[in-house]
C-alpha cells in the first residue's frame, strides 16, 4: 500500500498498491505512467479530470543512497498542454519514502473555496483546513506551518502564484537546510496544486529508512562507493554551486542574454559563480550545503545581499534568466529576485524569460532590477500585469506582440541559447516536456562524448547526443535521483548495480535505459493524443534565422534529425554505436 489517493472533491483518502511488476516505478516514471493512464489528454489542466501526482523514487528514505530523495510532480501541464514532470531536491522525498509511500495522487476538484493541507505521518493521512495559511507566500507559510506541525516537518507548498493557478507557478519543497528553496519549477505544476486547493502537503519527519533492500550488504556497499566517487568528482559543484557554469557557457557564446539576442554577456564576470563565492566568503553566506540528507555533492548555498536579504540556493538557471537574460549584472539584485520567486512560488526560468520578453516589449528597460521586482510584487497582489508576467514567456510574447519568443511548446527556454549549444536546442525542441534543459543537458563538459558531440555549435550528431542524454536523464528521473549523478554511461552502471541490490534481480545499464526509453515513448504518446505532432517539435523561426552574436551561429539542426530523436533511435543501437567513456 504505497500509493495514496486523495479525492479533493470528497475530502477522502485511500491507500492502494503499486503492483508487483512495478516495484521500481518512481519519480517521473510513476507520475507519467499515472497521467498517461488516468488523465484524458484533452482535459482542461485546471479542471476536475487532471491529476497532480507527487512521487519519490524507490531509494527514497536512504540518505546513504546518494541524492536519491528527489520529489517529482506530474500532471497535464497548464503551461504547455503536454504531459509534465518537474522534480526537486529537498527533504520531502526522503520523508515520503520513510512513510512507505511512493506517490500521492490528488484527484478531482473541490467544491467552493475550501483550501486544505494534506498532512502525512506515521499515523496516516489527514486533510486539515488551511485557514490562516491561504494568501501567504512560501516563507511565511513554512514558518506558520512548522509552528503548527513541528519544526522538522517537510513542507511541499504553493505561494500566491499557485493559488492564482498561474502558468509559471512552482511547487516549493523545503530543503534540508530548512527553507522553501527547492522547487518543482516547470510547467505550472503549482497551478494544478492550486486548482486542487491544496495549499501544502506536510510530511512529518519520519525515522528509519525506506524500502528494504533485497541484498542489504551489496546495497550499502554500492551506495557508499558511489557516494565517495561523486564526492570527489563533483568538487566544482561543492565550491561554486551550479553557478560554476556562468563563465564557461558565456565563453562558448551560448549564455542567454537580453531575451536571447546575444550569446555573451558583458557583465558575466559580475554574475559568475566565482564572484558569488567571493561575496559569500566576504559576507558570511554558505557554500557546499546539502539540499537533502546525505548528499555527497553539496551544490546548495546561501547568499546574503548587502541589504541583508538572504537567498537560499542561488542557482545557475536563476542567475542567467533573471540576470544576463534581463541585462542585469547586479548580483544582489538578481539574488533578491530569486528570493522573491522562491517566496511567491514561481519558476525562475519561466519568469526570467517572461521578464526578458517584457523588457524587449518595452514594458521596462533591460537591467531594471527595481522594475522587475515591482512586477513580481504584482504577482503577489494579483493584478492583471502580475498575472500576465507569471503566465510565462510565450504568453507575454503573445500579448506584447514580441516575435523573439524564447519558448518551445509554450515553455520558456532555460539558460542556454540553442544556437550556441545545439544539443540543448535539440532537447528544447524534442523533449515531451517542452523546453527543458534537464531533459537532455548537452553541456560540453561531459565525459564520453565524441569530438563532434563536444563541439556545441556544430549541428552534426546532436540528435544522437540528445537521444542518449534524454534516455539517461530519464533513467535518473525514474529512479528519483539527482541529475548531477549523471547522465553518463558510467553512472548508469552504478545505478543499475544499486537497483539490482535493492530489488534482488539483475538490472543492466541497458535495461535501465530501455525502461527510460519506454517512459519517453509513453510521454510522447500522451502528447500525440493531446494534439501535438512533429510540427510541434521545432524551435521558433527566429532561432534558425537570426545569427547569434558573437559567433553568428543559427540553429540549423534539420527537422529530419529532430524527428529521429523521437522516433529514429533505440537504446540498443545507440549503445553499440557509442564510444567507451574515459
Residues that bind a second copy (CB under 8 A): 41-44, 46-47, 49, 78, 164-167, 191, 194-195, 363, 383-385, 387-388, 391, 395, 398-401, 403, 405, 529-533, 535-536, 538, 540-542
Q: How far is the CB of 406 from a second copy (least distance, A)?
A: 13
Q: How far is the CB of 541 from a second copy (least distance, A)?
A: 6
Q: How far is the CB of 196 from a second copy (least distance, A)?
A: 13
Per-position b or e across 382-398, b if 16+ CB within 10 A of its CB: eeeebbbbbbbbbbbbe
Nearer to a second copy, 167 or 213 (CB): 167
Are the beta carbons of 107 and 189 closer than 8 angstroms?
Answer: no
The contacts found for 307-310 with CB under 8 angstroms, 24 or more apart, are: 307/332, 307/336, 309/335, 309/336, 309/339, 310/339
Nearer to a second copy, 196 or 287 (CB): 196
Nearer to a second copy, 246 or 355 (CB): 355
Nearer to a second copy, 4 or 530 (CB): 530
562 contacts: CB under 8 Å, gap ≥ 6:
426, 429, 430, 463, 534, 537, 538
- The full length of the chain comes to 582
Selection from 560, 531, 67, 529 nearest residue 290 by Cα: 67
Q: In what order do the strands lie in the sheet with 12-16?
A: 12-16, 3-7, 103-107, 52-55, 71-76, 83-88
Q: How far is the CB of 349 from a second copy (least distance, A)?
A: 19
Q: How far is the CB of 332 from a second copy (least distance, A)?
A: 27
Question: 120: phi > 0 → left, psi -120 to 50 → alpha, else beta; which?
Answer: beta
Are the beta carbons of 551 and 263 closer than 8 angstroms?
Answer: yes
Q: What is the DSSP string of 65-130?
A: STT---EEEEEE-TTTSSEEEEEE-SSHHHHHHHTT-SEEEEES--STT--EEEEEETTEEEEEE-
Q: How far is the CB of 400 from a second copy (least distance, A)?
A: 6
Nearer to a second copy, 388 or 498 (CB): 388
Nearer to a second copy, 44 or 148 (CB): 44
Nearer to a second copy, 193 or 442 (CB): 193
Are the beta carbons of 213 and 500 closer than 8 angstroms?
Answer: no
Sign of the CA dihedral with 406 first, then 410, 414, and 416 last: negative
Nearer to a second copy, 164 or 174 (CB): 164
d(CA 28, CA 382): 32
Phi, psi (degrees; rounded to nearest 5) at 346: -125, 140
Q: How far is the CB of 546 from a second copy (least distance, A)?
A: 11
Nearer to a second copy, 384 or 582 (CB): 384
SS3 (DSSP) at 135:
coil
Amino acid at each position: 500500500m504505497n500509493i495514496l489517493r486523495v479525492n479533493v472533491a470528497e475530502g477522502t483518502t485511500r491507500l492502494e498498491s503499486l503492483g508487483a511488476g512495478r516495484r521500481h516505478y518512481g519519480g517521473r516514471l510513476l507520475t507519467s505512467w499515472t497521467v498517461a493512464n488516468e488523465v484524458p489528454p484533452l482535459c482542461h489542466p485546471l479542471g476536475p479530470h487532471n491529476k497532480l501526482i507527487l512521487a519519490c523514487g524507490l531509494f527514497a528514505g536512504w540518505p546513504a543512497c546518494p541524492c536519491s530523495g528527489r520529489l517529482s510532480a506530474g500532471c497535464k501541464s497548464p503551461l504547455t498542454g503536454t504531459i509534465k514532470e518537474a522534480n526537486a531536491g529537498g527533504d520531502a522525498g526522503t520523508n515520503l519514502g520513510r512513510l512507505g509511500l511512493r506517490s500521492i495522487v490528488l484527484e478531482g476538484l473541490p467544491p467552493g473555496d475550501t483550501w486544505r493541507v494534506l498532512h502525512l505521518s506515521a499515523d496516516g493521512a489527514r486533510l486539515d483546513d488551511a485557514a490562516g495559511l491561504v494568501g501567504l507566500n512560501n516563507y511565511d507559510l513554512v514558518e506558520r506551518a512548522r509552528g503548527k506541525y513541528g519544526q522538522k516537518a517537510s513542507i511541499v507548498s504553493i505561494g500566491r502564484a499557485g493559488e492564482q493557478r498561474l502558468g509559471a507557478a512552482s511547487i516549493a519543497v523545503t530543503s534540508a537546510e530548512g527553507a522553501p528553496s527547492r522547487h518543482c519549477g516547470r510547467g505550472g505544476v503549482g497551478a494544478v496544486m492550486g486548482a486542487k486547493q491544496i495549499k501544502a502537503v506536510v510530511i512529518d519527519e519520519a525515522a528509519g529508512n525506506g524500502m528494504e533492500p533485497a541484498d542489504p550488504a551489496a546495497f550499502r556497499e554500492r551506495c557508499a562507493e558511489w557516494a565517495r566517487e561523486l564526492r570527489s568528482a563533483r568538487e566544482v559543484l561543492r565550491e561554486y554551486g551550479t553557478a560554476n557554469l556562468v563563465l564557461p557557457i558565456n565563453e562558448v557564446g551560448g549564455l542567454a542574454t537580453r531575451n536571447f539576442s546575444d550569446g555573451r554577456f558583458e557583465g558575466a564576470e559580475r554574475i559568475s559563480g566565482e564572484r558569488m563565492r567571493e561575496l559569500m566568503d566576504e559576507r558570511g553566506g554558505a557554500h557546499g550545503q546539502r539540499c537533502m540528507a546525505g548528499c555527497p555533492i553539496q551544490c546548495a548555498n546561501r547568499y546574503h545581499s548587502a541589504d541583508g536579504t538572504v537567498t537560499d540556493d542561488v542557482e545557475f538557471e536563476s542567475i542567467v534568466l533573471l540576470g544576463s537574460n534581463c541585462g542585469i549584472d547586479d548580483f544582489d539584485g538578481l539574488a533578491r529576485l530569486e528570493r522573491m520567486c522562491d517566496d511567491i512560488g514561481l519558476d525562475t526560468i519561466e519568469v526570467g524569460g517572461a521578464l526578458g520578453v517584457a523588457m524587449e516589449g518595452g514594458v521596462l528597460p533591460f537591467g531594471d532590477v527595481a522594475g522587475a521586482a515591482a512586477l513580481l510584487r504584482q504577482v503577489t497582489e494579483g493584478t492583471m500585469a502580475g498575472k500576465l508576467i507569471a503566465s510565462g514567456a510565450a504568453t507575454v510574447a503573445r500579448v506584447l506582440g514580441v516575435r523573439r519568443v524564447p519558448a518551445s511548446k509554450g515553455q520558456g527556454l532555460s539558460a542556454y541559447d540553442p544556437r550556441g549549444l545545439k544539443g540543448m536546442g535539440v532537447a528544447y525542441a524534442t523533449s515531451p516536456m517542452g523546453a527543458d534543459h534537464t531533459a537532455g543537458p548537452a553541456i560540453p563538459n561531459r565525459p564520453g562524448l565524441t569530438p563532434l558531440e563536444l563541439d556545441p555549435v556544430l549541428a552534426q550528431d546532436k540528435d544522437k547526443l540528445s537521444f542518449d542524454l534524454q534516455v539517461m536523464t530519464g533513467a535518473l528521473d525514474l529512479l528519483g535521483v539527482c541529475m548531477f549523478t549523471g547522465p553518463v554511461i558510467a553512472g548508469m552502471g552504478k545505478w543499475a548495480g544499486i537497483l539490482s541490490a535493492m530489488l534482488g534481480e539483475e538490472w543492466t545499464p541497458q535495461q535501465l535505459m530501455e525502461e527510460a526509453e519506454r517512459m519517453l515513448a509513453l510521454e510522447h504518446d500522451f502528447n500525440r493524443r493531446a494534439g501535438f505532432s512533429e510540427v510541434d517539435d521545432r524551435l521558433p523561426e527566429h532561432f534558425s534565422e537570426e545569427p547569434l552574436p558573437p559567433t553568428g551561429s543559427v540553429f540549423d539542426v534539420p527537422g529530419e534529425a529532430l524527428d529521429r530523436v523521437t522516433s529514429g533511435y533505440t537504446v540498443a543501437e545507440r549503445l553499440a554505436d557509442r564510444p567507451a567513456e574515459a
